[in-house]
Amino acid sequence: MSFNVRPETMARITTPALAAAFIEEQVAALRAQIGDKKVLLALSGGVDSSVVAALLIKAVGKQLVCVHVNHGLMRKGESEQVIEVFGKELDANLIYVDATDRFLDLLAGVSEPERKRKIIGAEFIKVFDEESSKLEGIDFLAQGTIYPDILESDGVKAHHNVGGLPEDMKMELVEPVKLLYKDEVRVVGEALGLPHNMVYRQPFPGPGLGVRCLGAITRDRLHALREADAILREEFDNAGLAGKVWQYFIAVPDTKSVGVRDGKRYEGWPAIIRAVNTTDAMSATIEELPYALLHKITDRITHEVEGINRVLYDLTPKPIGTIEWE
Ligand code: XMP
């Protein structure tokens, strides 16, 4: 049996007690594997890499070096949370790289979705590689691989992993959650004391807001998207919908319409709300949002976000629409 196969006897981790047992076992295994060497981790702030970071901090403390690359396509407050939780609260060895300008300069004028993804993926590897080559004496590379990644590594979702790192990195892999399903990673994350909103985060594409700022990305439209998305998330929180709806976000197309504000013509972009439920992301249904909530979100976004003059609700299930617009 390969080490990449989950043993049938392995119980599903559903309770804090089972998580605690897993953590204890992994901490011992990590210490045995790593010894007094150093480990590098690309920390995106997503559930999987965050849980791996917390496990490694518990096991080997400052021997872990986390690199957080801000590609400028994060949601509002995300990089700040990584710095707060890992840099400050958990006192990790954290290297923060603000590569916003590099990414946005490369993406300027590029409108084709798959090309945008490729640029973001390749640049991510380049930045990470540059940072890691500045470090000395790193023998291990930690990754937040989870069991579905192994089961799905048939190429279907290959484009999904922006964090796919170069094969020629001569480091031994450390993958402490590779036999866990997502729900188990979350239970372990909570048991490790990570914030609830980090552990129960909805899925977020590796290329981030890059695939929601439709067509060629501009800084002003990206800014409007980030602000509108933050309002949407806040209002879902207020309405008690966070954690109930599987994935929700805003997309902003590269089209303007005529509007009126303060008695004057006001051209702006539309903000498109997407709110879907699914179990496996292969098909998805639309959440039936209360009308009053849609009203409130529309009101706030059109008043508070510079550049947006309409709000639309995308009612298209998957299929025929994919969850993301690009
Ligand atoms: P689609 O749009 O294909 O999305 O219906 C299915 C799920 O995958 C996420 N998604 C991505 N995740 N990199 C990722 O890491 C990507 O390029 C990407 N594209 C889509 C999407 O958010 C949804 O959860």
Distance between CA atoms of 122 and 144, rounded to whole angstroms? 19
Write down the pLDDT at residue 164: 54
Write down the pLDDT at residue 3: 76
Cα of 201 from ligand 1 centre, angstroms? 14
State the average pLDDT for the chain.
94
More confident residue, 166 or 91: 91
State the average pLDDT over residues 287-316: 98
Closest ligand 1 atom number to CA of residue 206: 15
Who contacts 266 (Cβ-Cβ below 8 Å, separation ≥6)? 258, 259, 260, 309
Write down the pLDDT at residue 172: 94
- pLDDT of 232 over the 80 cut: yes
- pLDDT of 95 over the 70 cut: yes
Specify the range with the lowest mean pLDDT, choosing from 35-44, 162-171, 190-199: 162-171
Query: Which of 73, 286, 323 for a ligand 1 pocket mutation test, highest count of atoms within 8 Å of Cβ?
Result: 323
Who contacts 233 (Cβ-Cβ below 8 Å, separation ≥6)? 75, 242, 248
* Angular region, 238: left φ>0, alpha ψ -120 to 50, beta rest: alpha
Cα of 206 from ligand 1 centre, angstroms? 8
State the average pLDDT over residues 55-76: 98
Which residue is closest in CA terms to ligand 1's atom 7? 281
Which residue is closest in CA terms to ligand 1's atom 19? 205
- pLDDT of 169 over the 80 cut: no
Which residue is closest in CA terms to ligand 1's atom 24? 203
Residue-by-residue DSSP string for 258-313: --EETTEE--BEEEEEEEEE-SSSSSBEE----HHHHHHHHHHHHHHSTTEEEEEE
Residues above pLDDT 90, as percent of the chain: 91
Neighbours of 283 (CB within 10 A): 12
